[in-house]
């Protein structure tokens, strides 16, 4: 993935789905401070980068059918998150339930 994406500072939606070889996101994408929706469905992403939690406008995060096995606690602290899709993942249901309990206003898709 080109680091040039980070120069698109007015970008509000980014869909990187179906990139099976994508197993990490470049930290430069943290510069996308206007990003509202990030879709990473069916990528090879195993770990959700912590900098995603510092995107101030992020309201939708989709990790559908990724090989993630844990949902970091900091995801529940993304202030504007309204939608989280973790369907078709191997996340423990206890982690998803804990997230739902912490953020009842957030729509969660699982499994």
**For 61-109, what is each residue's pLDDT tens digit?**
999 999 999 999 999 999 999 999 999 999 999 999 999 999 999 999 9
Q: If pLDDT is split at 50, 70 and 90, which confidence band does 4 have?
A: confident
Using one digit for the tens of pLDDT, what is the confidence trace for 25-70?
Answer: 988 999 999 999 999 999 999 999 999 999 999 999 999 999 999 9
Instruction: State the residue range of the domain holding 90.
Output: 3-109
CATH number at residue 16: 3.80.10.10
Instruction: Look at 111 and 43; give whichever has higher pLDDT.
Output: 43
69 vs 39: CA distance, rounded Å: 17
- The pTM of this model reads 0.94
Pairing between β-strand 60-62 and β-strand 107-109 as defined by DSSP bridges: unpaired
Instruction: Using the CB atoms, write b or e for 30-51: b if 16+ within 10 Å.
Output: bbbeebbbbbbbbbebeebeee
Half-sphere exposure of 52 (CA within 13 A, CB side): 26
Given this model, what pLDDT does residue 3 score? 72
Tell me how many domains the chain contains: 1
Helix ranges (DSSP H) in the chain: 93-102
């Amino acid at each position: 993935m080109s680091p040039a994406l980070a120069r698109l500072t007015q970008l509000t939606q980014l869909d990187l789905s179906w990139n099976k070889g994508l197993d990490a996101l470049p930290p430069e994408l943290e510069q996308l401070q206007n990003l509202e929706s990030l879709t990473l469905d069916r990528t090879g992403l195993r770990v959700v980068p912590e900098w995603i939690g510092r995107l101030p406008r992020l309201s939708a995060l989709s990790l559908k059918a990724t090989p993630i096995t844990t949902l970091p606690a900091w995801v529940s602290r993304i202030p504007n998150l309204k939608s989280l899709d973790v369907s078709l993942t191997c996340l423990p249901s206890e982690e998803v339930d804990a997230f739902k309990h912490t953020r009842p206003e957030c729509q969660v898709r699982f499994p």
